[in-house]
Amino acid sequence: MKISVNGLAYHVEVCGKGEPLLLLHGFTGSSGTWLPFCEKWGRHSMLICPDLPGHGNTESPDEPVRYSMENTIEDLCAILDKLEVERANVLGYSMGGRIALGFASARPGRVGKLVLESSSPGLDTEEERINRRMKDSELANFIKEQGIEAFVDYWQDIPLFKSLQEMPEPIRKGTRAQRLTNSPVGLANSLLGIGTGAQPSYWDSLHSLDADVMLLAGELDEKFIGIAEKVSQRLKSSRIEIIEGTGHAIHVENPEKFGTIVSGFLTHT
């Protein structure tokens, strides 16, 4: 369905019945990331799956500031309002996990449980953020100048997705095909507006989160295992699950295990 909020038309997939579950995909992803879990999670949750700005079938504004964390959080609140949802569990993957943390920090009353897959609270120092913004600006220019296909070829071969590249060919082809459907302007502006260097750091606000949090990381993703361990130390209520034989994209590399763990966390009181 189309939901227009704050002057931007979002594409949102909704399925299942039960407690609302807001699902936020990663960079180059879309709402389609979560549709394979509709049958399993839809037995206990109403899945709300937006295409984030610049992704999928949501609009791609020309101004990077429209993609900012603050604006995206306001949009997500407005989407929940339009669906008459006051409070939702939230699951975010990678970029979506950063947004999920931002959402929980800014609007704690609207978040029940929080699931963070391969996610980070951002960068801790201004120097790190400046360096990352420079790199993201270079990558945004690459997308604009070389086009979406050249970028996807580059992106799928970065070390972060090494284990994903070792998956069976149909999975690799499906992931590539989905990434190619995105707007080059949208992806470039997403990097500039809500990239890790552009967003606020949430490290110092972790201790104030009251949500029950599950942190998921792949066994082969050492960087994000380390981040999950550091994040867990600052949270009031959290658990870490390390998924054997997977890397960054756990939901793609072992969807059965991923779906079962998330379902158990959401339904356990």
Mean pLDDT of 258-268: 96
**42 vs 268, higher pLDDT:** 42
So what's the pLDDT on residue 61? 97
**Average confidence score pLDDT of the chain:** 96
Nearest Cα residue to 50 out of 80, 83, 78, 10: 10
The three-state secondary structure class of 22 is: strand
* All structural domains of the chain: 2-267 (3.40.50.1820)
Q: Which residue has the tokens 């149909």?
A: 170
Locate 207 and state its tokens: 């201790």
Nearest Cα residue to 52 out of 77, 30, 21, 20: 30
pLDDT band at 269 (very low <50, low <70, confident <90, very high): low
Q: What share of the chain is helix, strand, coil (3-state, %, to 5)?
A: 50, 20, 30
264: pLDDT strictly greater than 70: yes
So what's the pLDDT on residue 238? 96
Query: For 153-208, what is each residue's pLDDT tens digit?
Result: 999 999 999 999 999 999 999 999 999 999 999 999 999 999 999 999 999 999 99
In one-letter notation, the amino acid at residue 199 is: Q
CA distances from 14 to 11, 42, 77, 92, 228 (A): 10, 10, 16, 16, 29
So what's the pLDDT on residue 268? 87
Query: For 92-143, what is each residue's pLDDT tens digit?
Result: 999 999 999 999 999 999 999 999 999 999 999 999 999 999 999 999 999 9
pLDDT band at 59 (very low <50, low <70, confident <90, very high): very high
* Side-by-side strand order, sheet with 111-117: 2-5, 8-15, 45-50, 19-24, 88-93, 111-117, 213-218, 238-243
Share above pLDDT 90 across residues of the chain, in percent, rounded to a whole number? 99
